[in-house]
C-alpha cells in the first residue's frame, strides 16, 4: 500500500512538473509565434496605444483598413478585430485588457447577431485568451462566467490548448507579412458569391449578452471614451429589423449605429466579397473609405472634440 501511495505521489509530481515546464515552453511559443491571432492579442494586452481602436470578430478583422481611416480622421488607428472571437463576451475581455494600460479616444465596435442571440456554447472561443488568465481580474471574470477558470488554475499547459497547433505553425510561417496596423488583407477568392441568401431576423435574445454589452458601454463611459457601433456589408438580403435589439441599446445610450448591412451596401458588387460574410481586400478598401467618410461626418456634425 505504501509503495502504491509513493508511486502515486511520484506520478502526480511528474505530471505537475511536466505541466509547468510545458506551460513555460508554450508561453514562449505564444509570445513569439507569427500566426494570425496570438500576435494581435499580445499587442492588445500589452502595447496598443492608438487613438482609435476597432474591435469585433473576423468581419472587423477583414473589413477595416486602418491606413485609410487614419488618413481621413487624422488619428492613429488599430484594427483589433480577432478572427472567430465570436461575441460580446470576447469583446468585453479584450476591452478589459486594453483599459488596464491604455485609454483610446474612440472605440468602433463591429456587431453581429451573435452579440444578442442565444448560442448553444457562447463561450466556445474564450479559450483563445486563456494564455493571459491571471493577468487581469476583470478579464478573468469572463472565464469564471464560462466556468472554465478552474481548468486554467489547475493546468498551465492547458491554457495553450486552443491554439497550440496554430501557434507552433506560426514559428515556421509568418502570417503577418502584409499587416496594416492589425488589418490583414483578405486574398482575392477563386470565385465570388453569386446567390443572394436571405438572413432571417432572430428573436431568441440572450439577456446576459445584453448585460455585457451594457457593461462594455459603461467601461467606455467611465473612461470618457467615445463609442460607435457598426455592422459592415454582407452579401445577403436581410430584414430591416435584423439589429433592432442592438439598435435599441445604442439609442438608450446615445451611441451612433452605422448599419451598412440592412441597407444592402455592395449587393451590386459581388466582386467585393470573398464569401457571403466577408469582404476581400478590394471590398474592404472601398468600404473603409465609405465608413471613414461617414464617421468623420458624424464627428463634425456632432461637433465632438476627440483629442
Q: What is the pLDDT along the chain (307 residues), one digit of tens a residue?
A: 777 676 666 667 677 777 788 888 888 989 988 888 899 999 999 999 999 999 999 999 999 999 999 999 999 999 999 988 889 999 999 999 999 999 999 999 999 999 999 999 999 889 989 999 999 999 999 999 999 998 899 889 989 988 888 888 888 877 666 678 999 898 999 999 988 888 888 899 999 999 999 999 999 999 999 999 999 999 999 989 999 999 999 999 999 999 999 989 999 999 999 999 999 999 999 999 999 999 999 998 876 666 5
pTM attached to this predicted model: 0.93
Nearest partner of 95 among 47, 138, 125, judged by Cα: 138
3-state secondary structure of 223: coil
Give exposure, 109-136, as e/b (b: 16+ Cβ within 10 Å). bbbbbbbbbeeeebbbbbbbbbbbbeeb
Q: Where are the domains of the chain?
A: 15-301
Please report the pLDDT score of residue 137 as a whole number.
94
Q: What cell was used for 96? A: 478589459
| CB atoms closer than 10 angstroms to residue 4 | 8
Q: CA-CA distance, 40 to 126, in Å (whole number)? A: 15
C-alpha cell belonging to residue 293: 467618410
Q: Which three cell numbers stand for residue 256?
A: 451612433
Q: How many other CB atoms are found less than 10 A from the CB of residue 46?
A: 15
Neighbours of 84 (CB within 10 A): 13
User: Do 233 and 279 contact (CB within 8 A), yes or no?
Assistant: yes
pLDDT of residue 303: 66
pLDDT of 176 reads 62
- d(Cα 173, Cα 8) in Å, to the nearest integer? 41
C-alpha cell at 287: 468600404
Nearest to 67 by CA among 76, 56, 55: 76
pLDDT score recorded for residue 174: 73
Beta strands in the chain (DSSP E): 52-55, 77-79, 106-110, 197-199, 226-231, 236-238, 257-259, 273-275, 278-279
* CATH number at 15-301: 3.40.50.1110
Amino acid at each position: 500500500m505504501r509503495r502504491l501511495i509513493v508511486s502515486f505521489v511520484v506520478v502526480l509530481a511528474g505530471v505537475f512538473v511536466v505541466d509547468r515546464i510545458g506551460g513555460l515552453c508554450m508561453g514562449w511559443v505564444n509570445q513569439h509565434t507569427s500566426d494570425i491571432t496570438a500576435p494581435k492579442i499580445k499587442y492588445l494586452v500589452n502595447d496598443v496605444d492608438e487613438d482609435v481602436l476597432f474591435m469585433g470578430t473576423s468581419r472587423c478583422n477583414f473589413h477595416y483598413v486602418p491606413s485609410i481611416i487614419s488618413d481621413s480622421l487624422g488619428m492613429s488607428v488599430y484594427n483589433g478585430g480577432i478572427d472567430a472571437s465570436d461575441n460580446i463576451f470576447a469583446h468585453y475581455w479584450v476591452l478589459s485588457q486594453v483599459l488596464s494600460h491604455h485609454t483610446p479616444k474612440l472605440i468602433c465596435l463591429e456587431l453581429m447577431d451573435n452579440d444578442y442571440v442565444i448560442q448553444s456554447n457562447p463561450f466556445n472561443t474564450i479559450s483563445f485568451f486563456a494564455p493571459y488568465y491571471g493577468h487581469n481580474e476583470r478579464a478573468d471574470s469572463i472565464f469564471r462566467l464560462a466556468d472554465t477558470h478552474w481548468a486554467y488554475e489547475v493546468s498551465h499547459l492547458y491554457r495553450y490548448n486552443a491554439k497550440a497547433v496554430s501557434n507552433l505553425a506560426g514559428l515556421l510561417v509568418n502570417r503577418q507579412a502584409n499587416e496594416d496596423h492589425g488589418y490583414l488583407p483578405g486574398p482575392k477568392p477563386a470565385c465570388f458569391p453569386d446567390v443572394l441568401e436571405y438572413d432571417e431576423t432572430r428573436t431568441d435574445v440572450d439577456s446576459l449578452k445584453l448585460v455585457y454589452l451594457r457593461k462594455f458601454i459603461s467601461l467606455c463611459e467611465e473612461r470618457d471614451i467615445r463609442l460607435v457601433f457598426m455592422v459592415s456589408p454582407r452579401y445577403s438580403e436581410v430584414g430591416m429589423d435584423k439589429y433592432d435589439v442592438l439598435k435599441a441599446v445604442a439609442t438608450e445610450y446615445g451611441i451612433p449605429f452605422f448599419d451598412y448591412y440592412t441597407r444592402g451596401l455592395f449587393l451590386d458588387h459581388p466582386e467585393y466579397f470573398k464569401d457571403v460574410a466577408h469582404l476581400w481586400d478590394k471590398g474592404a478598401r472601398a468600404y473603409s473609405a465609405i465608413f471613414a467618410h461617414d464617421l468623420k461626418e458624424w464627428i463634425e456634425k456632432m461637433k465632438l472634440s476627440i483629442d
